Amino acid sequence: MTPPAADPASAGLDVGLLGPGWVGSPAASATGDFAYLAALLDAEAALTRAQAALGLAPDQAAEAVTRAADPARFDVGALAQRARGGGNPVIPLVADLTKAVGEEYGPYVHRGATSQDIMDTATMLVAVRTLDLVLADLDRAGEALARLAAEHRDTVMPGRTLTQHAVPTTFGLKAAGWRSLVLDARDRIARVRGSLPVQLGGAAGTLAAFSAYGAEDVTALVAAYARELGLCEPLLPWHTLRTPVADLAGCLAFAAGALGKVAVDVLVLSRTETAELAEGSGGGSSAMPHKANPVRSTLIAAAARRAPQLAATLYASLAAEDERPPGAWHTEWEPLRELLRLVGGAARDAVELTGGLRVNADAMRAHLHLTHGLIVSERLSAELAPVLGRARAKELLTELARRSYAEDRSLGELLAEQPELKGVELDELTDPAHYTGAAAPLTDRALERR
């Protein structure tokens, strides 16, 4: 069957058909080709303005370049195709921008810079703009988790280790733990966002061309450039010193994993046979009308599984040879954008997930008794040792645990039949709700963090 003809306006463009985790998110718009084009033009215009501020270019040139640097005037698809010629989109963009500025002030476009200066600076702009969106969503998810933790501070549920029931815990403590991770991610992203620098070094990181064009203090030019864009002033040109990109890789991978922890817990606890949690509005199935799939959690979990490999690619690019690397720099562009998109989409989905999460406290309480009371065996071992002696307490509990399953009877019932335990108050000792340790005060302590 012949496929339908492509829409000329969108042919070849990535519209997110295979990216449901990020499509439609604010981060998708902030990292799209048009957003990158806008950032490249912002970087070029800011460079001319910075030079004008120091008397290295006429004010009229700065005004002309800024006026011409309108992304709507440029064909992003044509730029992408022409980027193959020089290996990056800055080269054809500079040609088009120079033409748009006109003969009189065109020579001030890109003056003294190299393509990597503009590409790296634009990447930092895209990152900052995307991270601001992510930070807002992480704050919203953290607020939703704080509400869940406070509401369910004393909602008892089974704690599970290595997939099996361990000892009782509370859903409040679990939600407080999720929030702690989300806030850790927020703090890491905020630190990195506040440190992202402009790039300005010229052909080989010496800023020599700017001196040739009359700059007496090239560091003042870098500072002016940073001020124009609201980015940090770097200590050195970082063409092959890729700390900013590595920092982005680390905080984004951590954020994906932090949100992934929330997602995988929800996935496990929302299984049909568990049903302790449910997403507020699940997704449908193409074949099974009864299903309400945990789609938000699924997409977040998918992002968490992809992020480490993308970050690894960015870390590998730290080994960038010479003063301009053939390949290491080029390798960064797509995985960094994908990381920004994935985390932006996951943060968006986390707001929806945490805000609509439904907690089945009745199911949690019911599941405490699935092991016939053995979920409190740790407590009984400690409490009965002074009464029976450590060896006898262990022997008795081991035997009664076997009988509990074999006879389908509760541990408390079997303990009550033991003559050696006459006079011991067993009801409180065998109640899972009375063995949550410091779960409540730990939850309170976690919620003090802002």
Q: How far, in Å, are 131, 134, 181 from residue 344 at the CA level?
A: 8, 5, 16
Enumerate helices (H) and strands (E) in the chain, giving the number of each.
18, 4
Is the Cβ–Cβ distance between 364 and 175 less than 8 Å? no
Active-site entry in 285, 358, 402, 445: 285
Structural tokens at position 375: 């979920």
Quick one: which H or E segment has residue 169?
Answer: strand 164-170
Q: How far, in Å, are 1, 18, 35, 326, 353 from residue 5 at the CA level?
A: 12, 19, 27, 38, 38
Is the Cβ–Cβ distance between 370 and 165 less than 8 Å? yes
Q: What is the CA radius of gyration of the chain?
A: 30
N- to C-terminal Cα distance for the chain? 58
Cα separation, 356 vs 438, in Å, equals: 28
Q: Is 285 one of the catalytic residues? A: yes
Structural tokens at position 212: 């040739």
Active-site entry in 324, 365, 403, 409: 324
Is the Cβ–Cβ distance between 339 and 248 less than 8 Å? yes
Among 65, 224, 196, residue whose Cα is nearest residue 121:
196
Structural tokens at position 389: 């002696």
- Polymer length in residues for the chain: 450
Q: Please, which residues bridge with residue 244 across strands? A: none
- The DSSP annotation for 102-163 comes to -TTTGGGTTTT--HHHHHHHHHHHHHHHHHHHHHHHHHHHHHHHHHHHHHTTT-EEEEEETT
Q: Is 325 left (phi over 0), alpha (psi -120 to 50) or beta?
A: beta
Active site residues: 285, 324
